[in-house]
Amino acid sequence: MKRYFQGATIVSLLAGLGSVASAEGYTLGISNTVQGNGWREEMVCAMKAQALDSGKVDSLNIAHRNTDAAGQLEDIRNLVEAGVDAIVLNPSNSEGVNSAIEEAIAKGIVVVAVDQAVTAPGAYILSNNQEEYAYLGAKWLFEQVGGSGDIVYMRGAAGAGADDDRDRGFKRALEEFPDINIVHEVFTGWQQDQGKQQILDYLATGLPVDGVWTSGIDNVIVDAFVESDAPLVPIVGADNAGFVGQLATVDGLVGAAVTNPGSIGGAGVTLALQILDGDMPESNTVLVDPAIWANNDPAGMALIEGAQNPNLDPEWPVSVSIPGWTTYTTEEIIACKGPGE
Amino acid sequence: MTRLISKQGWVLGLLAFLALLFVLTTVIQPDFGISGLDSLSRATLPFAFATAGMAVVVIAGGIDLSVASMMAVAGVSAAVLMDGAGGGGTVLAVVGVLAIGLAMGAINGAAIVYTRVPDIVVTLAMLFVWEGVALLILKAPGGAATPWLRELIVGNVIFPWLPRSFVFLVVCVAVIWIPLSRSRLGLSIYAIGSNELAAYRSGVSVGLTRIAAYAVCGLFAALGGLTLTMSTGIGEPIPGPYLMASVAAVVLGGVVLGGGRGALLGPIIAVFILRLVRMDLTLASVDPNVTTIVEGTIMVVVVMLGGVLAMKGRKT
Amino acid sequence: MTEPTGASPLLDARGVKKHFGAVIALRDASLTLKKGEIVALMGANGAGKSTFVKILTGALRPDGGTIRIRGRETKARTPAEAQRAGLMPVYQEPSLIPDLDVAANLRLCNTPVEPFRHWVDQLGIKGLRLDDMIGQLPLATLRILDLARALAIEPEVLMLDEMTAALPTDLVERVLQVVRAQADAGQSVIYISHRFTEISELCDRATVLRDGATVGDLPIEEGVEERIVELMLGAALGAGRGAGTDVTSVAPEGPPRVKVRNLAAGTKLSDVSLDLHRGEVLGVVALEGQGQDELFEALAGVRRPSSGSIEIDGKAMSFHHPDDAIAAGLTFVPGDRGDALLMQRSVRENIALPLVARIGKWGAIPMKDEARRVTDAIERLQIDTRAQGEVQRLSGGNQQKVTIGRWIATGVETLLLFDPTRGIDVRTKRQIYELVRKLASEGASVLFYTSELGEVPMACDRAVVIFNGRVVDVIEAADADEPTLLRAAYGLSAEEELPA
């Protein structure tokens, strides 16, 4: 079955893209443990688009479902069994999947962790700096409210590694602003509907709020303020298409988007292919630092306006590519097609 | 002999299906061998224990929606207790985790018996309670597992094709289930699931039996949580996808929802089937979104087919 | 024990009281039982009999009164404790676990296997294996196994609740013989039954309950039946036939409404032909398992016949689904009331159900009309309205009235009644005969299977007797006395003798 697919893929590649060197045809494995979240979906699409665009990948084996570290161990081992050349994964946490990664590396498989770090020796890491992500946004917000005021802190999923990293960054900023008061701390579980309900509930109490920090569940928070006729306060979110659109269009909204590119997945594929081709990076860890785009700052506003793209899903980050790391076009990532599809 | 086949027909059918899947696996991936068996067996562990626990309460006519949350509590407790513990500390930690599991299950059962609120409501509430407890113990993934304990489920034993993790599973389930199923308590668990009134009139203490069944479920959940920590080396406070998977395996394994019928062997074979299907779909690089559809379809088709065969068997 | 047996009773329950919220179930129930005695416990529907039984067997705790066994007061809180105190009940629904085999059921309640085997043998069950699954055995066998299990632990007091209900006649005889022999050997028995013939044959005394209190304790002697009935009902009854006496049965004329020819179905029903006319109640008499179940199921569209024909008003019918039979005017009231009622719903909803089903599939429900018809039906049924909220809280007799009575509200052409009076007290039985006669006089045709032969002359115009899957006799109501019916049911012609 697989051979048939491989054969068919090679034939189609030869026919369609005659210039591509078929000798290199790698098989890549992808492992992701959150399904149905806009950011993660963009990440997977970036992986597929980059694999297709590179012309070096024959087939992708994608293990993409909602599971825990133990489930990811299973997925990684299954990818090893499938005989992939490299695995690009978004680890469910930094230590829990090390045993399977080590087994894969022992079999000569290149392992690249994107988005979050893993501690397994020999694995390559291409990661967004989550602590810095939270610190940048929180610092901007606290300055915005004049160094003192009541802040609603809307976190991600309780117990998730990335949430924990971001909490550390948030707390670091908080230490610098002793007069900031956290009036409400909730976990949105990175779910749009849940986050919206939580802020609506809070607004209904009539308690004071001077600013809102969100862990990426952002456009629905603005919606909630508008729908419940509450006076808008500064809001920090991620560079998701919906929120970035609101930053440009909603009257009276002061806010900032912190970049957290889901296209890091495509960069991970590029890194894996470079290593397979013998082009080793200088360090095992490459951190991608976030940037902040505030709409009350001309430079930030210019970035926000330049990033508008009505074709994107509102949950998708607008930074669909990372210069130097990804080569696909915006249309290709939206099409979300990998090799052989 | 025919009686054996009719009584164990479902299990034999599942075994045949599993064998067929193994054949299919070697067709998809001719290199499938010892390491494949090992990774399959290790992936199966937490699911198998969750399923064993669920099967016991379902046989007793109940359901436990908190099984994955109890696993999380057990997993983080193990990771916290074992962090920096030596040999003796590790043994104590394991015993402690198993005791915590028994206690959690007994609390679930007692809440059902004494509040008289339906089991599905109580255990749904306890799902959130245990989830919260797990986060109180460890707010983010962390802790550690003692290396020699982790080694218990790595590699093989006696024969190269016999994974240690499989032996670990078989020994744990056998040590709990075989004496239990032969005891009066075991009979009572079947009895209250089969016909509660008749059990009561036969002198079975229905309430205590129910509490015991939930406690056994808690014990299996603790073992499941322990294997999570053993395989990942850390404790994770967020429950994994074990609730629905365990219900699915229980049904596929021939335990009737509603109680009284089935055993543990069938559901555990069903766990292997479901894991192997997942593996085959990954090996064949099937679209991941199609994978869950395939898993669900297999479940319905197999259960339906089993029903049809059972009916035919009765007619002849 | 130092005291001589017979001087003080083995079991002595005095002034037992129990209420459920505002409803008083027992006011002053008493019962005494000496060693080797068989006492019948009798009472109409709602007299508190089942509550009393539950208290005696430890399933309920009394609010007042005392229960002494051998002079020592017991406060059994569970059936297990009552059994340890020496009281072993055999309930109408067998207390066996359907999903366990025979051996596991014995182990579950620590029953010794050898005595159990002995009693199974004595009671006439052949070919039982210890690894037979309970759920796959017929009800009659299960009742016998339950009795054998009780006998095997040699309790001081055996409590038998409608022990002969659902048993074929030959097994009834065996049971009665065994119980009598046990009593002669010193076993004490509380015997609950609605069958007077058995009570007069078996019992020494009868204790009668009415409205939650013991109203009489009589030795069994000639003519005691009328006295018992009077005590149960609290008023004297007219003698002779029941309500049926008021209705003169008309000789069937014209073409039959239902015409069955050479019907065969399953393994038991091999060749049955019968005609059912308008306004006629046709009895069906048969021992257990002679094909009557299959006959009713085939007529109700539940089972496909293997050969033969069913004609309704001269039109050949082929039922693929119960819907087809209902559309043809055939209404089935199964023997198991649980199959026919929505137990958690109210009396009104249960009565209205076929009414609603009859109105176009998605049409609105005409509430006013429904309410009127339902109220009318409840009045005519004389259903005890205290527990109308949920049918499951009604007594068995009242539940059965609901299953039949719903067809009064709807209007019915042909009613198939399968053993509608099983385990129901005399008064409710008579009300049911009355209902059936009333429906017939309004033009309905009724096919009426009963396991109690004495009912045939009270409710039916004629009776067909089925033996071994075939009709062996048709008997007019006037000639349908019990001996005649019994002979026919055994497949014996009138000249031959009954088996001993």
Contact B184 C91 (CB under 8 A): no
Which domains are assigned to chain C?
11-233 (3.40.50.300), 243-489 (3.40.50.300)
B vs C: CB pairs below 8 A: 63
- pLDDT for B313 beyond 80: no
pLDDT surpassing 70 at residue B3 = no
How distant is the Cα of B135 from the closest Cα of chain C, in angstroms? 41
- Identify which of C94, C412, C470, C446 has the alpha carbon closest to the alpha carbon of residue C294: C470
Asked if the model's pLDDT at residue C196 lies above 80, the reply is no
Q: Which residue of B has its CA nearest to C150?
A: B202
Closest CA of chain A from B233, distance in Å: 6
Please give, one letter per residue, the 3-state secondary structure of A241-300: HHHHHHHHHCCCCCEEEECCCCCHHHHHHHHHHHHHCCCCCCCCEEEECCCEEECCCHHH
Closest residue by Cα to residue C457 from C276, C269, C244: C244
Q: What is the pLDDT of residue C138?
A: 86
pLDDT tens for C434-453 read 888 888 888 889 999 987 77
Mean pLDDT of C417-422: 84
Domain ranges of chain A: 2-129+261-289+320-335, 130-258
Same fold, A2-129+261-289+320-335 and A130-258: yes
Flag whether pLDDT at C380 surpasses 80: no
Between vectors from CA A29 to CA A27 and to CA A32, what angle results, nearest 5°? 160
Q: What CATH architecture does domain A2-129+261-289+320-335 belong to?
A: 3-Layer(aba) Sandwich (3.40)
pLDDT of amino acid C237: 38
Residues in B closer than 8 angstroms to C131, CB to CB, are 3
**Cα distances (Å, whole numbers) of residue A315 to A236, A245, A250, B228:** 15, 11, 17, 32
Cβ separation A81–B32 shorter than 8 A: yes
Res C347: pLDDT = 77
**C103/B contact by beta carbon, under 8 A:** no
Neighbouring chains to C with at least 3 Cβ pairs closer than 8 Å: B
Nearest residue of B to residue A61, measured between CA atoms: B285
Per-residue pLDDT band for B172 (boundaries 50, 70, 90) equals very high
Contact residues, B window 157-186, toward C, CB-based 8 Å cutoff: 184
- Does the pLDDT value for residue C2 go beyond 70? no
Question: Is the Cα torsion angle C337, C342, C343, C346 positive or negative in sign?
Answer: negative
Compute the average pLDDT of residues C486-499.
56
Question: In this model, does residue C4 exceed pLDDT 50?
Answer: no
Q: How close B206 gets to chain C, by Cα (Å)? A: 10
Residues 291-310 on B with a CB inside 8 Å of A are 291-292
Q: Is the CB of residue C155 less than 8 Å away from at least one CB of chain B?
A: no
Cα–Cα distances (Å) from B181 to A327, B187, B191, C108, in that order, read: 62, 7, 12, 12
Give the closest of B138, B228, B282 to A63, CB-based: B282
Q: In which band, very low, low, confident or very high, does the pLDDT at C366 lie, cut at 50, 70 and 90?
A: low
Q: Quote the pLDDT of residue C491.
A: 65
Spatial distance between the Cα atoms of A76 and B163, rounded to a whole number of angstroms = 18
B100 close to C (CB below 8 A): no
Strands A180-187 and A149-155: parallel
| Inter-chain CB proximity C95 and B198 less than 8 Å | yes
pLDDT, tens digit (0-9, with 9 covering 90-100), for C82-97: 888 889 999 888 899 9
A11 in contact with B at a CB cutoff of 8 Å? Answer: no
Q: How confident is the model at residue C500 (pLDDT cuts 50, 70, 90)?
A: very low
Residues of B with CB below 8 A from C344's CB? none
pLDDT range class, residue C356, cuts 50, 70, 90:
low
Quickly tell me which residue has 């979104």 as its tokens: B289
Which pLDDT belongs to residue A37? Answer: 81
Shortest Cα–Cα distance, A50 to chain B (Å): 17
Q: Is B76 helix (H, G, I), strand (E, B) or coil?
A: helix
Does the pLDDT of residue C241 top 50, yes or no? Answer: no
For residue C390, is pLDDT > 80?
no
pLDDT at C321: 85
* Helical axes C396-410 vs C426-441, angle rounded to 10°: 10
Confidence grade of residue C459 (pLDDT, cut at 50, 70, 90): confident
Model confidence at C235: pLDDT above 80 = no
Q: Look at residue C243 and tell me whether its pLDDT is greater than 80.
A: no
pLDDT, averaged across chain C: 81
Are B209 and B188 in contact, with CB atoms under 8 Å apart?
yes
Tell me the pLDDT band of B7, cut-offs 50, 70 and 90.
low
Decide: A and C in contact? Rule: 3+ Cβ pairs under 8 Å. Answer: no
**C46 has pLDDT over 80:** no
Of the candidates B194, B195, B203, the beta carbon closest to that of C79 is on B203
- How is chain B split into domains, by residue range? 40-242
Residue C3 clears pLDDT 50, i.e. is over it: no
Tens digits of residue pLDDT in C277-312: 988 999 998 876 788 889 999 998 888 899 999 999
Amino acid C430: pLDDT: 83
For B43, other C-beta atoms within 10 Å of its C-beta total 26
Helix axes B206-232, B164-182, angle to 10 degrees: 170
* pLDDT (tens digit per residue) in C271-280: 999 999 988 9
* Mean pLDDT, residues C379-408: 73
Where residue C240 falls among pLDDT bands split at 50, 70, 90?
very low
Structure tokens at C467: 């033996």
Contacting residues for C437 by C-beta, under 8 A, at least 6 apart = C243, C244, C246, C247, C281, C459
The predicted pLDDT at position C443 comes to 85
Q: Per-residue pLDDT for chain A (341 aa), expressed as one digit of tens each?
A: 444 444 444 444 333 333 333 446 899 999 999 887 888 999 999 999 999 999 999 999 999 988 899 999 999 999 999 999 999 999 988 889 999 999 999 999 999 999 888 899 999 999 888 899 999 999 999 999 999 999 999 999 887 778 888 999 999 999 999 999 999 999 998 888 899 999 999 999 889 999 999 998 999 999 999 999 899 999 999 999 999 999 999 989 999 999 988 899 999 999 999 999 998 888 888 888 888 999 988 988 998 888 888 888 888 888 888 888 899 998 899 999 988 87
Separation in Å, CA of B222 to nearest CA in chain C = 29
CATH no., domain A130-258: 3.40.50.2300
C-beta atoms of B198 and C96 within 8 A: yes
pLDDT for C384 equals 65
